Amino acid sequence: QVQLVESGGGLVQPGGSLRLSCAASGSIASFYAMGWYRQAAGKQRELVASITNSAFTNYADFVKGRFTISRDNAKNTVYLQMNSLKPEDTAVYYCNRKQYNLNYWGQGTQVTVSS
């Protein structure tokens, strides 16, 4: 079993920045992919960005150039640096980890972009 604990959400003005963190614990595998998804009110959950243990990254088109995903393997932690935030980025952001063909999810952290 893997536990994921997210932190770093909050309220920010348009154009501002936030950094989300997701720490994994439990049965950690060396080969994995971790990512951030988001779900806005009334919408489906969508992929924001992902990163593998070998640092291969993937971004949704709507965050390219604004968000950066990174990981610290020693700390089993993945980060999402979000810059130039827009009101449409408002959503609950969920951390995800895939290993051994299993999916694990964090509890979610609210990001609100509003003036």
Length of the chain: 115
The alpha carbon dihedral of 26, 39, 81, 32 has a sign of positive
Residue numbers of the chain with a pLDDT score lower than 50: none
In this predicted structure, what is the pLDDT of residue 26? 87
pLDDT digit string, tens, across residues 43-74? 999 999 999 989 999 999 999 999 999 999 88
In this predicted structure, what is the pLDDT of residue 73? 87
Q: How far is it, in rounded angstroms, from Cα 83 to Cα 96?
A: 21
CA distances from 108 to 10, 31, 46, 62, 103 (A): 12, 23, 13, 20, 15
In this predicted structure, what is the pLDDT of residue 94? 97
DSSP at 101: T
